[in-house]
Amino acid sequence: MKRRPLGSTGLDVSELGFGASPLGAVYGAFAEPDGIDAVHAALDLGICFFDVSPYYGATLAETVLGKALRGVERSGYVLATKVGRYGDDEFDFSAERVERSVHESLERLRTDHLDLVQCHDVEFADLDQVVHETLPALRKLQDAGLVRAVGVTGYPLGALHHVAARSPVDTVMSYCQYTLQNRQLARRRPDFERAGAAVVNAAPLAMGALTERGPAPWHPAPAPVLERCAAAAALCRARGADIARLAVQFAVSTGGFASTVVGTSSAREVRRLVEWTAQPLDEELLRAVQECLAPVLDRGWANGRPENQYSEEQP
């Protein structure tokens, strides 16, 4: 597993990151021992970047990940979690809650420091508060040695850039914005890097839309997007291929990101993901899938507060 520098943080992360949201049963029930085995398989195969949040499973994901990492040499992995979002409609980006949240995460994750703490889904926040209160609170925790790097996450790239351009952050993470169907994050990557932030890509499978199984009923993408994704999956199937493999290979090998985070709670799935990243991209299949998805290329959805839906051209 190749490693890449996480911007100027001094941290190196695996090109494939372990998304721990499934350890919170976000995508359905799982057996805790299986989730722990998945973490151990990831470590054995060279994955060293783990991304979690107290929001995932109402702190369950952090708790399970903490158990899985118990006894593992702390220098052997990069641990990222988040602050600000604690439920579907529960947000608190105040300095007091940020500090308390970090201490709670330290306890659940059984560690004395967090490598990266990110403001979670900033599009649901008052962005001025994030810039002037949340991020400064995290920098104080960084000065105290509890946090090594500070970042922001979310879906709308304009909102993320609005924050990153006004208050230095070490990382920016977005999801479903660099996939076979959506390339917007790669186009904005130079803007974030000029602001001093390393870019992490998440959800290259478009939250299930680019898989054989398909998306859950709650998926927010417009119907034409999901229909085209299903057609692309059928195209791959007809050629004896798995669209998920193509999607992961494409995101990891072409995006130029510090890491691409994929969620899993299965050791078998971890092994398959690592195997895929070591295989060459099928360029002919990629071209066929790109043609299929061309009518819905870069189509997304609105997310968060209306005032945070900055256009992609707006700084």
Reply yes or no on whether 155 is catalytic: no
Distance between CA atoms of 117 and 170, rounded to whole angstroms?
A: 10
Pick the closest to residue 206 from 221, 196, 192 (CA basis).
221
Number of neighbouring beta carbons within 10 Å of residue 131: 21
Distance between CA atoms of 101 and 81, rounded to whole angstroms?
A: 10
Distance between CA atoms of 300 and 307, rounded to whole angstroms?
A: 17
Q: Whole-angstrom distance between the N-terminal and C-terminal Cα of the chain? A: 35
Residue 235 CA: distances (Å) to CA of 96, 254, 287: 51, 22, 12
Cα 35 off chain centre by? 18
Catalytic residue among 56, 155, 175, 178: 56
Q: Which helix (H) or strand (E) holds 175?
A: strand 171-175
Q: Which helix (H) or strand (E) holds 140?
A: helix 135-143
Active site residues: 56
